[in-house]
Amino acid sequence: MVIRHPLGVHASIAGGIEKAILRGERIGCTALQIFTGNASRWVVKPLSPIGVEAFHAARLNSSISRVFAHDSYLINLAAPDDGKWEKSKAAFIDELRRCRQLGLDGLVMHPGAHLESGEEVGLQRVAAAFHEIFAAVPDAPQVLLETTAGMGSHLGWRFEQLARIIERVPEHDFGICFDTCHVFAAGYDISGEAGYEAVMAEFDRLVGCGRIRLFHINDSKRDCGSRVDRHQHVGRGCIGETGFACLMRDARFADVPKILETPPGEEHADDLRNLELLRRLAGEG
């Protein structure tokens, strides 16, 4: 039996949040990622009841099985500056409440940047922030810690860092968003079969493959270990088709949604090519 992987893109919510579902359906998505508001602002307009109702109706009548949100890139729960830390916590609480209103499957977030305060201090700030956040939103949707490329002082580029956050915040069942470009840029070589198996074994040992609830499927413009986050279309970067074939044929992750974060191209031509290639690599035809 051929397994159909839940595949999709990060879709625009321009013109109404429900329109993201329609945009995803047009190109054959069965999973989706969205922002729930303007990702470049600290404070966003509340979701309207009409918009929330329209989103639920659109999703109910679609073939899209899983929908995740990505939080604002302004949020930094590791910030050493108290003012930015407080703003980040408040914004993240609002993100969680918006996800709950929309009934989303999880909220993806970057663990944060310690901004030269040091890794240990940064991890402590992240854990302390989460303690406050989950006290404020005890019925929060699942938070997915995203693997990062390690640019600058960003946390989450080593699997050990993700494990330490999870250990320090036992009140929440964290998931992981495994970004292929970020992991590769961070120094984990998944471009070949042996490397892929070794990296996944290391992740399983430190964090647990069962925590992976979402993949960001991006090739990398930069070499393994560059610690530079530059996405490329699937199979056209330094990871190449072999690495993605290993992932798409890994039975452990057949039901884990996989989202593209690459430019869609004119009339979504690049999205359609990437989705078709991933399905072919998975053996779906």
Residue 56 in marked binding region: no
Annotated ligand binding at 182? The verdict is yes
In sequence order, the β-bridge partners of residue 231 are 220
Per-residue burial over 128-163, b if 16 or more Cβ lie within 10 Å, else e, is bbbeebbeebeebbbbbbbbbbbbebbbbbbbebbb
**CA atoms of 92 and 96, how far apart (whole Å):** 6
* Residue 110 counted as an annotated binding residue: yes
Give the chain's radius of gyration (CA, Å): 18
239 token code pair? 């990871």
Give the 3-state secondary structure of residue 255.
coil
- DSSP, collapsed to helix, strand or coil, labels residue 190 as coil
Q: Is 229 annotated as a binding residue?
A: yes
Ordered alpha helix ranges (H), the chain: 19-26, 49-60, 82-102, 119-136, 159-168, 180-185, 193-206, 240-248, 269-281
Q: According to the annotation, is 255 in a ligand binding site?
A: no
Query: Residue 121, SS3?
Result: helix
216 is in an annotated binding site: yes
179 marked as binding residue = yes
Token duo for residue 121: 């201090």
Closest residue by Cα to residue 149 from 239, 225, 247, 263: 225
Give binding residues as ranges.
70, 110, 146, 179, 182, 216, 229, 231, 261
Give binding residues for Zn(2+) as ranges.
70, 110, 146, 179, 182, 216, 229, 231, 261
